[in-house]
Chain A
Amino acid sequence: MAINVIKEKCVGCKLCIKACPFDAIDMDGKLAVINEKCTACNQCIAVCKFSAIEKTEDESGPADLSAYKNVWVYAEQRAGKLMNVALELIGEGRRLAREISDDTKVYAVLIGEGVGALKQECFEFGADGVYLIDDPLLKNFTTDGYTKVLYDAVTQYKPEIVLFGATHIGRDLAPRVAARLNTGLTADCTRLDVKVSSYIDYAEKNTTLDTSTLDPASEDKGLKQTRPAFGGNLMATIICPRTRPQMSTVRPGVMTRREQVPGATGEVVQVKPVLSESDIRTKIVEIVKSAKEIVSLTDADIICSGGRGLGDPSGFDLIRRFASKVGGVVGSSRAAVDAGWIEQSHQVGQTGTTVKPKIYFACGISGAIQHLAGMQTSDIIVAINKDPDAPIFEVADYGIVGDLYKVIPQIIDEWENADALYESSVR
């Protein structure tokens, strides 16, 4: 597969050069030439007014992929407790499984020691079945131990899709397993589709993509994995056409879990792990739960975030007071973290946490794209910033151009009066 310029049609207008995110097109006189930086992202094809750029597909057909069936979710647990993202992915995996076919199932893969009881929670949140890989050597996560047993299980049972939460553990395990299987892995997905028609539906509602070249009746059931790239400046949909399983990590907080069905049951497959102590080349000395303030940005209904516009680290005192008043959690921009004003665990954005609270207060945050990528799906965004031209106002539902040190104390003071204010306003 490659991007080619059709020499006869190229007029040397350079539109493609402007559109290329990768600096992958050079001019040779009046002819555009694709260089080695090309990733076949198709941006140039979309902008070329002369149909002078084409993508040539690989001739070799796919290998036999039909032996692979069902959707697996790595049901990450820590100290016997399932991570939220595992439940979210079980819900998402079920949706994908049913899109593939009525008899495609979603399985949760539980790995650990004495974790069998967690199967009930998996069923109640939508799993059709559970693969249980239980062994004393799997008590805590180790890259070597977990990679081996998961690799062995995938090789034996051949799932079509394997999903992981993009946690520190998921992002350690998934690339290792994918490399051992020699299959593709797409990181930090924010959207998954199987049917072309669902993909079109998503793209039309949420993106600038021209969907006219996509056929909604297509038989293609390959996994379309959409993720932000370039710090959220660009979205890319990635496919894995020739190898199986198709693997993705998915950001926590992005997918929605299903309504819990108490008492739900499902199939249990016990997998006997083949693992010895010598397979595990790291030794965990201790695991420490942070004594730090717990920041659960992904679960918060309200987030009060501060950025460089606070002026100095003490500004977070006001943000903390604000958050405590409104029952929210403190967030921050990368700039404030880089400046050392607040810990990284508070960071919202492409390289921090993706959030979608009911209300996101952006205080003194200019709105770098990488920040917007992590919060722009919040239900309501309120921006408070001195600079009326700050990009944050482009995504804000409510903008206040003003001094946050004056405005926020007023919001704090008036918070309890909100009902009365509203009543008097509608009267």
Chain B
Amino acid sequence: MAFKIIVCAKQVPDTNEIKIDPVKKTLIREGVPSILNHDDANALEEALKIKDAYPDTHITVVTMGPPQARDMLIECIAMGADEGILLSDRALGGSDTWATSNAIAAAIVKLKDYDLIFAGRQAIDGDTAQVGPQIAEKLGIPQVTYVAEFELEKDMKHITVKRALEDGYELIKIETPCMLTAIKELNTPRYMSIGGIFSAVRKEIPAWGAKELGVDVDKEVGLDASPTNVFRSFTPAPKGKGVILEADTDKELADKLLINLKAKHVI
């Protein structure tokens, strides 16, 4: 039977491109591109590598987001995924990580059998790294996060991964079905292929809402069901502007700097 992989991905604004309006202190969103979250691209790439080795592998990419997240699914299919599922519904809006994982876990249950779930470690807009483990918890499967190397044995059952730690790594053995979260060190994501783009644009991408997922909109998903709420939000106060040192030579600049640091008692 074909090996079935589910990849969890998210469309995110490229936070490197976001700037703050210096006068109004608000985010400037115009012109900020939406991209496939970096770690999720690594998750998809690792799935595609399995498919390279075992061509009957089937890869489904699941994402939750606004209708335009469909574009990201098309990109994933153009890279080589077999299908994409979009979870999009006003009732899912405002979900925190707990509620988001309820929706995605419900989608995975609806997709029935799977061998492996790959997600990115975290998304660059929220940086929580919580949704992957929380999906695994709701599905009752084991997990390994921060996966930097991956090896699937020929029996398609036993997996060995290298899990990155701050001060080294662990080698861990785990069996399917399981959830793995990918980091950048795992691989280099491929580009979309021309053939892939052609088949992607023709591909039907189902959109599922709360009804299709069979989730309780009052208790499981959306803003009201989420255990966490935003109390306040604000932009960080800019630090007071410092001084630009000026001098005729680089040596004098260095001297001025050192005198200032000495005066502040920091050296």
Q: Which residues of A contact B (CB under 8 A)?
A: 1-2, 18-19, 21, 23-24, 35-43, 47, 58, 78, 140, 143-144, 147, 167-169, 171-172, 174-176, 178-180, 182-188, 203, 206-209, 224, 228-243, 281-290, 294, 326, 334, 344-345, 350-351, 358-359, 368-370, 373, 376, 379-382, 388, 393-403, 406-407, 410-411, 413-415, 417-419, 421-422, 425-426
Interchain CB contact under 8 A, A42 and B142: no
Interface residues of B in 215-238 (CB under 8 A from A): 223-224, 226-238
Which A residue's beta carbon lies closest to that of B143?
A143
Instruction: Knowing that A229-B126, A381-B242 touch, tell me 19 more A-B residue pairs with CB under 8 angstroms.
Output: A42-B233, A168-B165, A172-B145, A174-B130, A175-B132, A180-B137, A187-B126, A206-B237, A208-B25, A208-B236, A282-B142, A294-B167, A359-B267, A382-B261, A394-B239, A399-B244, A403-B250, A407-B253, A418-B258
Does B98 interact with chain A (Cβ within 8 Å)? Answer: yes
Which B residues touch A373, using CB under 8 A? 236
Which A residues touch B24, using CB under 8 A? 18-19
Given A37-B93, A284-B171, A418-B262: A234 touches B27 (CB 8 Å cut-off): yes
Interface of A is mostly: mixed
For residue A335, give the distance in angstroms from its CB to the closest CB of chain B. Answer: 8
Q: Which residues of B contact A (CB under 8 A)?
A: 13, 15-16, 18-20, 24-27, 29, 66, 88-94, 96-98, 101, 124-134, 136-138, 142-146, 160, 163-175, 178, 184-185, 223-224, 226-239, 241-245, 250-251, 253-255, 257-264, 266-267
Interchain CB contact under 8 A, B231 and A207: no
- Tally inter-chain residue pairs, CB-CB below 8 A: 323
Which B residues touch A143, using CB under 8 A? 133, 142-145
For residue A26, give the distance in angstroms from its CB to the closest CB of chain B. Answer: 11
For residue B176, give the distance in angstroms from its CB to the closest CB of chain A. Answer: 11
Query: Which of B20, B229, B250 meets A233, CB within 8 Å?
Result: B20
Interchain CB contact under 8 A, B184 and A40: no
Interchain CB contact under 8 A, A398 and B234: no
Given A187-B127, A286-B171, A419-B262: A168 touches B146 (CB 8 Å cut-off): yes
Interchain CB contact under 8 A, A43 and B233: yes
Query: Which of A230, A286, A382 meets B13, CB within 8 Å?
Result: A230
Given A175-B134, A344-B184, A380-B266: A208 touches B129 (CB 8 Å cut-off): no
For residue B86, give the distance in angstroms from its CB to the closest CB of chain A. Answer: 13
Which B residue's beta carbon lies closest to that of A222?
B231
* Interface core residue of B19, B173, B223 (most chain A CB under 10 Å): B223
For residue A346, give the distance in angstroms from its CB to the closest CB of chain B. Answer: 12
A240 vs B255: C-alpha distance in the bound complex, in angstroms? 52
A312 vs B109: C-alpha distance in the bound complex, in angstroms? 48
For residue A79, give the distance in angstroms from its CB to the closest CB of chain B. Answer: 10
Which A residues touch B29, using CB under 8 A? 21, 23
Which A residues touch B251, using CB under 8 A? 410, 413-414
For residue B58, give the distance in angstroms from its CB to the closest CB of chain A. Answer: 24
Interchain CB contact under 8 A, A421 and B255: yes
